[in-house]
Amino acid sequence: MFRYLVRRTLWAIVLFLVIMFVTFVIFFMAPNNPARAVCGGDQARPECLVLATEKLGLDKPIYIQYSRFIGRLLPVSRPVSFQGGVHLRQPHFKTPSLGTAFATSEELNQTIIKAAPVTASLVIGGAVLWMLIGLTVGIFSALKPRSLLDRGAMVFVLIGVSAHPVWIGLILSYFFGVKWDITPIANYSYFFGAPADSGLPGGPWQWFYHMILPWCTFALLFSALYVRMIRANVMETLNEDFVRTARAKGAPERRVLISHVLRNALLPVVTMLGMDIGVALGGAIFTEGIFQLPGLGRTAILAINNQDLATVQAVVVFATVAILIFNLVVDLLYAWIDPRIRLT
């Protein structure tokens, strides 16, 4: 178990470094100049360009930029200089930093800390919603295949997997927000009160009220996928021999379903859920875009438009760490709920 954790963590670090490097390379291959964007695009004065290029470190080779970036992320600083065999400054602990944004010189740690809770509330709330729909509809249509509910659910699944979230979001926003005026059309409201300068409403109720449509939009695709998967898994497990054994023991149907069928049928669902949440935490770009939620997805889009590598990199760091952590959690959880799996 301990060895497994150590090995997984080491592997995660390697993966992390590779992903970071690939993001760097992609950004450098793109034909653009971040310094120009900082200095105001086409009207940029040459002096400004020189200054910005130097300040952003764009004149250095790519591996220097990369190692500087990694150095900022490490929780330990390296010895600064080396004269006559003596370290002038000893290594010491520091807070890992994502650096500053190219365009606004904002501290990126702050950018992420502000955007992550928005994405998290979208993803976690969405996941609760899609699991509620997926479990109830999936289980009932598995118990009564070819029933009206089952056929209706299949239509829903088809719509859910076919329709694009942008379209769904716009349609929901138009009918519920504009036409019937039931929900807000867009925008976010902070759970613990809005920052003073944002001019947005705050508090749990406002947060919930503003998140209803984004949750529905975000959950639709996933609930369709999960309905289909849960239905198939439950139907398959219902045919297992041990389910017949449970019935032969005299167990009532309810008990057979909960204790024998679901426990087995939902094992693969746990894996899917963990990975999907991990991936979605990196930013639900479409949903955040439509409802103007200041989450990670929108932050990344804006940063790409501004050719702001530092901000994009910060979002990628966060997303990568989220996915790696969730995968690890899923593996540990899986070993706990399925006795056949041993982590070695």
Question: Which chain residues interact with another protein by CB under 8 A?
Answer: 240-242, 244-253, 255, 259-260, 263-264, 267, 337-340
Q: Residue 168 contacts by C-beta under 8 Å, 6 or more apart in sequence?
A: 217, 220
Two tokens, residue 332: 């540990």
225 vs 267 by CB, closer to another protein: 267
Two tokens, residue 156: 């829903």
Smallest gap from residue 331 Cβ to another protein (A): 17
What residues form DSSP beta bridges with 93?
A: 76
Work out the burial of residue 255: count CB atoms within 10 Å of its CB; fewer than 13 is exposed, 13-18 middle, 19 or more buried.
middle
Helix (H) or strand (E) holding 86, with range, is strand 86-87
Q: DSSP letter string over 291-307? A: TT--SHHHHHHHHHHTT
Smallest gap from residue 340 Cβ to another protein (A): 5
231 vs 260 by CB, closer to another protein: 260
240 vs 331 by CB, closer to another protein: 240
Q: How far apart are CA 67 and CA 24, in angstroms?
A: 11
144 vs 164 by CB, closer to another protein: 144
Please report, for residues 121, 226, 326, the alpha-carbon distance to residue 118 in angstroms, rounded to integers and kept in the order given.
5, 24, 18
Q: Are 163 and 220 in contact (CB under 8 A)?
A: yes
Smallest gap from residue 264 Cβ to another protein (A): 6
SS3 call for 87:
strand
35 vs 246 by CB, closer to another protein: 246
Smallest gap from residue 341 Cβ to another protein (A): 10
72 vs 247 by CB, closer to another protein: 247
Smallest gap from residue 135 Cβ to another protein (A): 18
Smallest gap from residue 270 Cβ to another protein (A): 12
